[in-house]
Structure 1
Amino acid sequence: MRLEGKAITASVNLTGNHASPDEADKQVLHIWGRQPLAGHVKVSGAKNAALVVMTGALLCSGDCRLRNVPVLADVKRMGQILSALGVKLTQNGDVLDLNARDISTSEAPYELVSQLRASFFAIGPLLARLGVAKIPLPGGCAIGARPVELHVRGLQAMGADVQIDHGIVNAYVTGPNRRLKGAKIYLDYPSVGATETLMMAATLADGETTIENAAQEPEVLDLANFCNSMGAKITGAGTKTITISGVEQLHSTDYSIIPDRIEAGTFLVAGAITRGDIIVGPVIPDHLTAVIAKLRAIGAKVTAEGTNQLRIVGAPQHTGTDIETLPYPGFPTDMQAQFMALLTLSEGNSVISETVFENRLRHVAELNRMGADIRVKGNHAIIRGVPFLSGAPVVATDLRASAALVLAGLAAQGKTTIQQLQHLDRGYESLEDKLRGLGAKLVRSLADAEPDASLVSQAIAVQSTLN
């Protein structure tokens, strides 16, 4: 197929609210709260699906066209990593074209991989395609240890020789055709990353591979569907047992990424925390079952609008609830921080238990700066609902923590100023524009500059009518 678009080679041109990570580090977001949100908000493509599908394009020596790709800092960085490997990329809006015909190296650059954990997924496709891969140990948000042992053990079971030396994972396949072998693999933990890495590696392996205790997240199924659209033979994705029958090669495809369930969930919480009335879509409602259940449990009204939209109407007063994060289909760890912001204003006591990452409660201190009453004991956060939050200067510590602070700012009295916006830009496309479209009052500016005067006066006028 003929691909058209604007060449991005080593970068993607970001639009909307996003700045480069260095620029975002110098910017702040001002939010004037207590404005009920109303209207319709569009959900972008899933970040976590787009990133791994981009690495999956390494499996194909032809053209791959991806649609519904969100314009994000993480997508830009993944584009840079693939470009460094020799992949040709062009982007036009949310359409991304990739051609991995002439991969020029099997070694990903440390300075890029160290900033994006998802880049480690390239080890599976590179090893399957070239028989060799050198990938630095990954980086990303500092939310806890996310070891790669499951990836390594699975690749070793498929016949790869894997060594970790000075922070570099060196993997290669011996033999006349340097081809991985099918294997039976059991994952000690249903790791999304390990499931995706091994599934991609197995698509070009010799024989059949079975992954037991596989991750069931929708992004895993999306990757399998993408690979199958190129001619792979994957069954069982989305269940605990995935079977992959290796094929000789894959072919070109045109594929659309699923909607982002975490972005959708964040907007649903935004509707609840501002006691608003908004419609969120497109979504796949089944991907949000756990989030919808908890929203209904605290008193918010969530209803389907057609087949791919959800409407949320916040209650005058929500009630507390307990949450335990779990692998899918349990409550997602990526929604824990956002829901915590909501529970700070919910009547009674709530307990959130974080079981997926051990260092993902750092937003507690920032929410407490805004008047929340949260105590941490181990991996548990005990939340006592308060009547209101107060705007304050706060610092985002990771991607989902930054979203939680935005939500808290939307509900708080007065002005909230959020620093370290590079985290926010990693996972939310045009978030400020989308929120302004719902009636939120917020503006981004340089840390040492006053925000736009017209927006400030408008926001203050709204605030004065509410107080």
Structure 2
Amino acid sequence: MDSILVTGNGPVNGQIPIAGAKNACLTLMPATLLSEEPLTLTNAPRLSDIKTMTALLQSLGAEVSSLQDGQVQAMSSHDLTSQTADYEIVRKMRASNLVLGPLLARFGHAVVSLPGGCAIGARPMDLHVEGLEALGAEIELKDGYLYAKAPGGLKGAVHEMRFASVGATENIVMAATLAKGTTVLKNAAREPEIVDLVECLRKMGAQIAGEGTSTIEIQGVDRLHGATHQVVTDRIELGTYMLAPAICGGEVELLGGRMRLVESFAAKLDAAGVSVTETDKGLKVARKNGRVSAVDVVTEPFPGFPTDLQAQMMALMCTAEGTSVLEERIFENRFMHAPELVRMGANIEVHGGTATVTGVERLKGAPVMATDLRASVSLILAGLAAEGETTVSRVYHLDRGYEHVVRKLEGVGAKIERIKGQ
């Protein structure tokens, strides 16, 4: 099993290109199921999760071609052979459940495995089911599969979600594009990935308004056509690499970054003593004066502080002057990186959904283990700021969400290498 060796090596300087958003691409790919005509995505990230979604779509009979070194995904669902998403594929990735809404809308029936639990929380399907049932679907859970049908087709409705779930919003919006009449989705999630999905669906002929707000209105159409769409910049990869100069000094320009994607995160960095400025090419980040200051963080749905940047922010706070409190309100069990940071000399106390971090002057390199995707990169960031060598094991998590981590960090002067397992 591969590992990553990081040696604390002082400041980082230069440019890092930011890839297309994983979470956006994983939502856009199932949109191909809504139409018989081709859907082409450009600026696609080259990640294992994209390969998993490709395998799932192909298992349904869709044609998927990866072009231009994986940065273009060309898809066609003109001749699907199945409407069943099998457990063996769905279990590998939570986003697989996003085929439910499109299949149900286009074919009137679908069978989709429950994805099961996750290292960072259960993330159940109830909000997806409630929204689709509001559109007239009949859904039964049997033997770990959701059996969904809409014999007379889906019908527009007014539905208010109990929680602004990103995945449920995406599933319901995609399904509503082919429903009869108008759907009004209230308490919808507002993430940039949803805005990106709507922009793509609109290119395919969907009639949607209100994306980026808490109320989205969808006027159903008879059919959608093909389109070409560029995947939005990955705001989580962007935020992650913004922390590299914050944690070990220097100045880095993140190519393709935009402030509107990370405003709440950038505000916290500014309060901690990190400068973030927009340039013609992206965002430039530099530590203002010496050691950063402790700041408190509460994770919230967009436009609040992203839960997917909490682990990385904790790594920064481990080296800050003062004590910070990080409160996780989105997922339970998302502090599994804390004990690994403690192995590196961090001072962290976790009580339920709250972690109290008292900064230390210097972390020390140690062997650590990644527990999930964002935890893995938080340990790499900590290693950049640590004295000596840090070996991060179980980095297969990393491959799900970050392309070419070693190459990108080496490009700004970090001392980092991937060690092949036996």
| 1:141 shift after superposition | 4.3
Q: 1:235-284 CA deviation, whole Å, 9 max, x = no partner?
A: 00110000000000011101000000000000001110011210012022
| 1:203 shift after superposition | 0.3
Q: C-alpha separation between the residues in 2 aligned to 1:106 and 1:301?
A: 50
Q: 1:44-103 CA deviation, whole Å, 9 max, x = no partner?
A: 000000000001111111111100000000001000000001110111120110001111
Q: C-alpha separation between the residues in 2 aligned to 1:447 and 1:74?
A: 21
1:422 is matched with which residue?
Answer: 396
| 1:446 shift after superposition | 2.6
* TM-score normalised over the length of structure 1: 0.89
Percentage identity across paired residues of the two chains: 46
Q: Does 1:200 align with 2:174?
A: yes
Q: C-alpha separation between the residues in 1 aligned to 2:101 and 2:293?
A: 45
SS at match of 2:349: strand
Deviating more after overlay: 228-237 vs 131-140:
131-140
| 1:287 shift after superposition | 1.1
Pairing partner for 1:280 from 251, 254, 260:
254
SS at match of 1:97: strand
Q: Does 1:36 align with 2:11?
A: yes
Q: Does 1:316 align with 2:293?
A: no
* TM-score normalised over the length of structure 2: 0.98
Q: C-alpha separation between the residues in 2 aligned to 1:78 and 1:325?
A: 28
Do the aligned partners of 1:51 and 1:75 also contact (CA within 8 Å) in 2? yes
SS at match of 2:40: strand
SS at match of 1:39: strand
Moved over 2 A (4+): none
Q: C-alpha separation between the residues in 2 aligned to 1:199 and 1:104?
A: 24
Q: C-alpha separation between the residues in 1 aligned to 2:252 and 2:116?
A: 35
2:151 is matched with which residue?
Answer: 174
Q: Does 1:372 align with 2:349?
A: no
Q: C-alpha separation between the residues in 2 aligned to 1:161 and 1:372?
A: 51
User: Which ranges in structure 1 are unaligned for 5 or more consecutive residues?
Assistant: 1-25, 449-467
Do the aligned partners of 1:115 and 1:140 also contact (CA within 8 Å) in 2? no
Q: C-alpha separation between the residues in 1 aligned to 2:25 and 2:149?
A: 26
User: Which ranges in structure 2 are unaligned for 5 or more consecutive residues?
Assistant: none
Q: C-alpha separation between the residues in 2 aligned to 1:292 and 1:111?
A: 39
Q: Which amino acid aligns with 1:417?
A: T
2:45 is matched with which residue?
Answer: 70
Q: 1:134-192 CA deviation, whole Å, 9 max, x = no partner?
A: 111115741012111111011111111101111101101113xxx11001110000000
Q: 1:415-460 CA deviation, whole Å, 9 max, x = no partner?
A: 1001111110000011110001011111111345xxxxxxxxxxxx
Provide the aligned length of Structure 1 versus Structure 2.
419
Do the aligned partners of 2:296 and 2:326 also contact (CA within 8 Å) in 1? yes
Q: Which amino acid aligns with 2:135?
A: M
SS at match of 1:180: coil
Calculate the aligned-residue CA RMSD, in Å.
Answer: 0.9
1:238 is matched with which residue?
Answer: 212
Deviating more after overlay: 281-290 vs 77-86:
281-290
Q: Does 1:145 align with 2:122?
A: yes
Pairing partner for 2:77 from 82, 100, 104:
100
SS at match of 1:401: helix
Q: C-alpha separation between the residues in 1 aligned to 2:307 and 2:66?
A: 31
Q: Does 1:263 align with 2:237?
A: yes
Pairing partner for 2:94 from 110, 113, 117:
117
Q: C-alpha separation between the residues in 2 aligned to 1:201 and 1:283?
A: 31
